Each structure stands twice: as C-alpha cells, then as structure tokens.
C-alpha cells in the first residue's frame, strides 16, 4: 500500500500544489489495536434501550447475549452454548455455558438474562425497542406488560428455571425469533451496578458487561476505547487487545483518515470517491467491501387521494422509474435495484415476488405506462400533477429529482418536490400532505416477514391500505412453524402487495466499507456485524 504520487493524481484536479508527497505512518500503541470508524456518536450504550445499528456494533463487543452473530453474520451460540426449540415452535430453551462471568469477575446466572429482557419491556425503562418482543415476535404477555396491563414480570414468557437455563415462551411460532435474541437484544442486566447508578450504569468506569471487551474510555462525540475482557468465556480466541471506535460523521473525512492510516475500518464510504481512489491505486479493490444489507427504499402512494386511488396511475409511475439507471449511473450507491418490497439478497431461502414490469424492456414499460395513464385520463394535454415529499438527505434529494425527471420524460407528469428535515418529513407522512412519499424501511431481521408485516394496517396505519387476502395470508404465515411453508405464504402475500402498487419499490440498501488488507477475519454479510472478537491484525 503506497500513498504516493497516484493518490495525488486522484485528487490533482483540485490541487496542483501537491507534487511532493511523503507518507508518514501514525504512531501506534503496543499490542494488537484496531481503529474502527463508527459514524455518528452512539446515542446510548444501554443495551436495553438501544435501537440503532451503529450503537449495536459497539454493544456487540461489550455484551454477550444468549446468541450472537458469528463471523459470517449467521447465528451462533454466545452465552448460551446450545438451545432447543419445541415442535410447535413456541418454546425456546437456552442452555448457558459454564462459568460465565461479568467483567468484574462475578458469576452470571440465568436470571440476569431474564432481568435484562424484562427491563427492556418495563414501561418505566421507556425503551422504544420493546416492540421487538411484543410485535416482531410475540413473547407471552410481553405486550400486556409493556402497556401496563399486567405488572407481574413472572407472567411474561421469559423464565429462568435454574441458574443455567433461560426459557422463552411465544404466543405464535416464529422461526426468526432467534434473530431477535442476539447480543444487544438479550444482554443480561448487572443488577448491582444498575441499582447503584441507575441509567448512568453504562458510563465509562461504571459499566459492567459480559462481552469480549470492556469499556475503558469514552469521550462523547469523539471516541471509545475498549480493552480485552479476560473473564470472557472465549477470551482465549480473542486476538485484538484494544479496539477504538472513532466518531466519524463526515464520510469523506473518514475516508481521508483511512488513507492516512488513522482508521483501519470505516463504517461507510462514498462509492465514486472510492472508485477514483481505486483507479489511482491508493486503495486496493479488495479493500472496498460492498455488501447488500437489510435496508429497503421505496416510494409510497397516497391511496386516499385522487388519482392515486387508481391502481393504473400507481402502476404507470412505478413502471417508469428506471431503477438501474438510478442506482448505477445517478446515485452510484452500490444499492441493488429492487422490484419487490423485500429487497433482493436479504434471505436466500425466500422465494420472493416481483412487480409486473420486472423482465420488461424499458421501452415496453414506458409504452405500457403511457397506455395506463391515458386510460386513467392523463396525457400530454392533461398532465398529472403531484407532490413528492422526501427527506433532505442528499441522496434522497438526488433520487427524487431524478425520478421526477423520469416521470416527466415518460409521462409528462409534473412533480412538486418537497424536501423536509426528518421530523417534519415524518410528521408530513401522518398528516398526509403528500401524493408520493419517499419512504424507507430498516428491517428488524434478515427475513421477508419483517418487511411485509410492516405493511399491515395494524402495524402502520399511515398507509391506509387494507387487503383481506393479504391479512389472511400474513396471519396464516404467522401460525406456521415450518420455514419453507411460511416463506411460500409470505411470497404470496407480497405478490398481492406488489400487484396493488401501494408502493413503487426502488432499491435495497448496501453497506460500503473500507477495510485495511491487514485486518483479517472479515467476512461480508447481510447483517453487517463484524464483532471485533473475530478479527485480527496482521501487519508485515
């Protein structure tokens, strides 16, 4: 890896000054150290509150749940070495490993895990992820406990019959339940420190965890330093001694820190900037890791407003979005274009569904769309006018502007683009001030159900969409423990959703990261978890 003349060339267009260049390596601490860029500062380290992925990356190093994401993003046993699932798919029994210890050396018992789960649900905790256990999976009485209908935690479907067994009881079978119990979702609660410090028990110096690392330093909005935890059950296989999580809000600045050797891993990257650096030889192509993730992007139609109550109009608009041009040429995002609600590549076992235009050529799509619009009463002389509401994120702006141009070219549609900051955008969604809504979903787990259950009126009333057949299929799927049969039902439901064009799918998401070649053990995966305990640094 050389950082010389060719990097300059990559940037030479902006600076003719830089002809002499010397690469100075940054000084490093003793032992094996990893510097990770982690985007915006974590909002909380409290595992029972946290909801965001970037906070979860850190928590994955600090806490050990019943199960966890393995090196390749698949589920592996963590604190629980093994587990059994009852035949009806409703009872999960977890068997904890022997001699589990907190970072302070005291033993961990099964009740600690139950306490953690109960704390997440407790209304007094006010955790906005309680819905994982009441809605994403239906743990017995979890909803009633969160809503305050019952107050006795013993009635909730989490129990510790002995010190090494945790039992979870569900109302409905849920093959995805195991995904909801990974490290930061099912972290145990260290009662002594919680009772002593209250919600501040996760601050540096107070935090007692059970993960492969322990928190030694935290400067808000700057960085966190984690040191290896000798009490961890798998400490013998943890290679990196010290992990730094740096706050890197500016993506371009993070790339520069990576180039200068201040970071070994970035949390995101700007594709065209990286391509240019690769072309210049400043970064090797295999340092750039792009992997589809579980985000989904789509445009929703306001079916309560004319003429968007007409499926022909919705279909015509969906058909004339050139998804490939949008992602590959305009946004250069690395995101996979999507023709379905469930983004491609999320779950290989899911058969999937697709909107009608998939497989048609672009010209055919435009012709068909024009015909549909004409039937609906719109044409060159009477153009459709619509309000598109999206967030003020730069990519969202660019996307909406491009889509508006596509619609204008193909159908003569006149779009009034409105971009608002996040909160106002969200308020706008419920206020229904839009015709078309720049929408997005972040799934709770890598499975179709996470996307599809969200479109039910009971989950999101804002769409005003009700389809009896869809409901029926979704309910049927929810009662089916067998994964294959369940997926078939889900795919059928998705096809109904797509045929009705409540939404125009746009794309999936992707995680784009820079990883130094000397960082070993990195396996790209859809979940995008790369726990530090699986990595090591191998410098020549």
Partner 1 sequence: MSDPALDEPLMAELAARKGRSQLQDAMRRFRANPLAVVSLIVLIAIVLACFLGPYFLPFGPDDADFELISSPPDFASGHYFGTDELGRDLLARTLVGGRVSLLIGALATLVSLGIGVLYGAISGFVGKRTDALMMRTVDILYSMPYVFFVIMLTTLFERSIVMLFIAIGAVQWLTIAVIVRGQTLSLKGREFIEAARAGGMRDWSIIRKHIVPNTAGPVIVYASLTVPEVILGESFLSFLGLGVQEPDTSWGVLLEIGAEKMGTEPWLLLVPGAFLVTTLFALNFIADGLRDAFDPNER
Partner 2 sequence: MLRYVIRRCIGVIPTMFVLMTITFFMMRLSPGGPFSTNRKASAEIIANLNRHFHLDEPLWQQYLRYLWGVLQFDFGPSYKMRDYSVADLLIQGFPTSLKLGLAAILISTLVGVTLGTLAALRRNSWIDYGASTVGLVGIAVPNFVLGPLWQLLFGVMWGLLPVAGWGQSWTQMILPVVSLALPNIAYIVRLTRGSMIESIRSNHVRTARAKGLGERLAIWRHALIGGLLPVVAYLGPATAGIITGSIVVEKIFSVPGIGRYFVEAALNRDYTVVMGVTLLYGFLIILCNLFSDIVYGVLDPKVRYE
Read off the tokens for 89: 């798919």
Phi, then psi, of 396 in degrees rounded to 5: -65, -40
- The interface region with partner 1, picked from 144-152, 414-422, 450-458, 461-469 by CB under 8 A, is 414-422
- The interface region with partner 2, picked from 150-158, 247-255, 373-381, 530-538 by CB under 8 A, is 247-255
Q: How far is the CB of 320 from partner 1 (least distance, A)?
A: 13
In whole angstroms, what is the distance from residue 140 CA to residue 533 CA?
34
> According to CB under 8 A, which one of 21, 82, 304, 484 is a site residue for partner 2?
21
Orientation angle between helical segments 311-319 and 362-375, nearest 10 degrees? 160
In the complex with partner 1, the residue whose CB is nearer, 159 or 402, is 402
- What character string, x for contact with partner 1 (CB under 8 A) and - otherwise, covers 3-22? -------xx-xx--------
- Which are the contacts of 176, defined by CB distance < 8 A and separation ≥ 6? 136, 137, 445, 447, 449, 450
Using CB under 8 A as the binding rule, whether residue 394 contacts partner 2 is answered as: no
CA 241 from centroid of its chain's CA atoms: 28
> According to CB under 8 A, which one of 227, 305, 362, 397 is a site residue for partner 1?
397
Q: Which of 291, 293, 309 is nearest to 301 (CA)?
A: 309
In whole angstroms, what is the distance from residue 462 CA to residue 450 CA?
17
Q: Which does 128 bind (CB under 5 to 8 A by kind): partner 2, partner 1, none?
A: partner 2
For the chain, state the CA radius of gyration. 25
- The interface region with partner 2, picked from 102-110, 122-130, 305-313, 321-329 by CB under 8 A, is 122-130
Using CB under 8 A as the binding rule, whether residue 324 contacts partner 1 is answered as: no
Q: Is 168 within 8 Å of 177 (Cβ atoms)? A: yes
Using CB under 8 A as the binding rule, whether residue 418 contacts partner 1 is answered as: yes
Give the single-character DSSP code of 515: B
> According to CB under 8 A, which one of 184, 245, 350, 419 is a site residue for partner 1?
419
Using CB under 8 A as the binding rule, whether residue 396 contacts partner 2 is answered as: no
- Residue 417, classed as helix, strand or coil, is strand
In the complex with partner 1, the residue whose CB is nearer, 14 or 540, is 14
Phi, then psi, of 52 in degrees rounded to 5: -90, 150
Using CB under 8 A as the binding rule, whether residue 284 contacts partner 2 is answered as: no
Residue whose structure tokens are 């309680």: 130
Using CB under 8 A as the binding rule, whether residue 24 contacts partner 2 is answered as: yes
Q: Which does 388 bind (CB under 5 to 8 A by kind): partner 1, partner 2, none?
A: none
Using CB under 8 A as the binding rule, whether residue 371 contacts partner 1 is answered as: no
Using CB under 8 A as the binding rule, whether residue 395 contacts partner 2 is answered as: no
Residues that contact partner 2, how many (by CB under 8 A): 68
Read off the tokens for 512: 């784009």
Residues of span 236-265 touching partner 1 by CB under 8 A: 252
Paired strand residues for 418? 389
Q: Which of 254, 284, 246, 345 is nearest to 38 (CA)?
A: 246
Phi, then psi, of 316 in degrees rounded to 5: -60, -40
Cα–Cα distances in Å, from 537 out to 23, 243, 521?
Answer: 21, 11, 9
Instruction: Give the other-Cβ count within 10 Å of 193's Cβ.
Output: 18
> According to CB under 8 A, which one of 128, 163, 234, 324 is a site residue for partner 2?
128
Residues of this chain that bind partner 2 (CB under 8 A): 3, 7-8, 11, 14-15, 17-18, 20-24, 26, 41, 43-46, 49, 51, 123-124, 126-131, 134-135, 143, 146-148, 199-200, 202-203, 219-223, 246-250, 252-253, 256-257, 259-260, 262, 421-424, 426-428, 444, 454, 459-460, 462
Residues of this chain that bind partner 1 (CB under 8 A): 10-11, 13-14, 252, 272-273, 276, 322, 325, 329-330, 392, 394, 397-398, 400-402, 404-405, 417-421, 424
């Amino acid at each position: 890896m050389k950082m010389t003349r060719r990097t300059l060339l990559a940037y030479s267009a902006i600076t003719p000054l830089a002809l002499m260049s010397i690469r100075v390596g940054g000084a490093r601490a003793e032992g094996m150290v990893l510097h990770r860029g982690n985007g915006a500062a974590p909002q909380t380290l409290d595992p029972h509150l946290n909801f965001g992925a970037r906070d979860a990356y850190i928590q994955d190093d600090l806490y050990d749940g019943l199960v966890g994401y393995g090196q390749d993003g698949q589920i592996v046993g963590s604190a629980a070495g093994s587990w059994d699932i009852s035949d009806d798919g409703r009872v999960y029994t977890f068997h904890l490993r022997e001699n589990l210890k907190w970072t302070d050396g005291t033993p961990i018992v099964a009740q600690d895990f139950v306490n953690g789960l109960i704390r997440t649900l407790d209304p007094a905790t006010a955790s906005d992820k309680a819905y994982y256990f009441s809605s994403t999976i239906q743990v017995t009485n979890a909803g009633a406990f969160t809503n305050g209908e019952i107050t006795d935690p013993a009635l909730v479907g989490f129990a510790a019959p002995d010190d090494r067994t945790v039992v979870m009881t569900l109302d409905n079978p849920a093959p995805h339940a195991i995904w909801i119990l990974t490290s930061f979702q099912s972290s145990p609660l260290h009662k002594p420190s919680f009772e002593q410090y209250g919600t501040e028990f996760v601050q540096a110096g107070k935090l007692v965890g059970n993960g492969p690392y322990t928190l030694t330093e935290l400067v808000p909005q700057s960085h966190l330093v984690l040191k290896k935890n000798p009490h961890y059950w798998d400490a013998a296989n943890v290679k990196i001694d010290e992990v730094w999580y740096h706050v890197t809000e500016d993506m371009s600045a993070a790339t520069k820190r990576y180039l200068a050797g201040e970071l070994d891993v970035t949390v995101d990257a700007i594709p065209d900037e990286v391509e240019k650096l690769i072309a210049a030889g400043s970064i090797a192509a295999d340092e750039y890791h792009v992997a589809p993730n579980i985000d989904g992007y789509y445009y929703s139609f306001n079916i309560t407003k004319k003429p968007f109550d007409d499926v022909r109009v919705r279909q015509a608009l969906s058909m004339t979005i050139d998804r490939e041009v949008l992602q590959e040429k305009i946004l250069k995002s690395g995101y996979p274009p999507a023709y379905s609600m469930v983004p491609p590549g999320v779950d290989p076992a899911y058969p999937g569904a697709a909107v009608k235009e998939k497989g048609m050529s672009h010209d055919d799509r435009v012709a068909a769309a024009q015909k549909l619009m004409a039937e609906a009463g719109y044409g060159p002389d009477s153009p459709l006018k619509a309000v598109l509401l999206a967030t003020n994120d730069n990519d969202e702006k660019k996307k909406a502007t491009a889509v508006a141009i596509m619609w204008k070219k193909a159908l003569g549609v006149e779009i009034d683009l409105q971009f608002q900051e996040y909160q106002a955008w969200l308020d706008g969604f419920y206020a229904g001030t839009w015709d078309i809504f720049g929408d997005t979903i972040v799934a709770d787990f890598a499975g179709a159900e996470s996307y599809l259950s969200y479109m039910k009126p009971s989950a999101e009333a804002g769409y005003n969409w009700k389809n009896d057949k869809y409901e029926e299929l979704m309910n049927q799927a929810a009662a089916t423990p067998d994964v294959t049969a369940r997926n078939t039902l889900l795919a059928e439901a998705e096809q109904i959703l797509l045929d009705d064009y409540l939404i125009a799918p746009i794309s999936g998401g992707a995680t784009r990261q820079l990883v130094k070649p000397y960082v070993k053990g990195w396996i790209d995966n859809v979940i995008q978890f790369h726990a530090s305990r699986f990595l090591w640094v191998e410098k020549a």
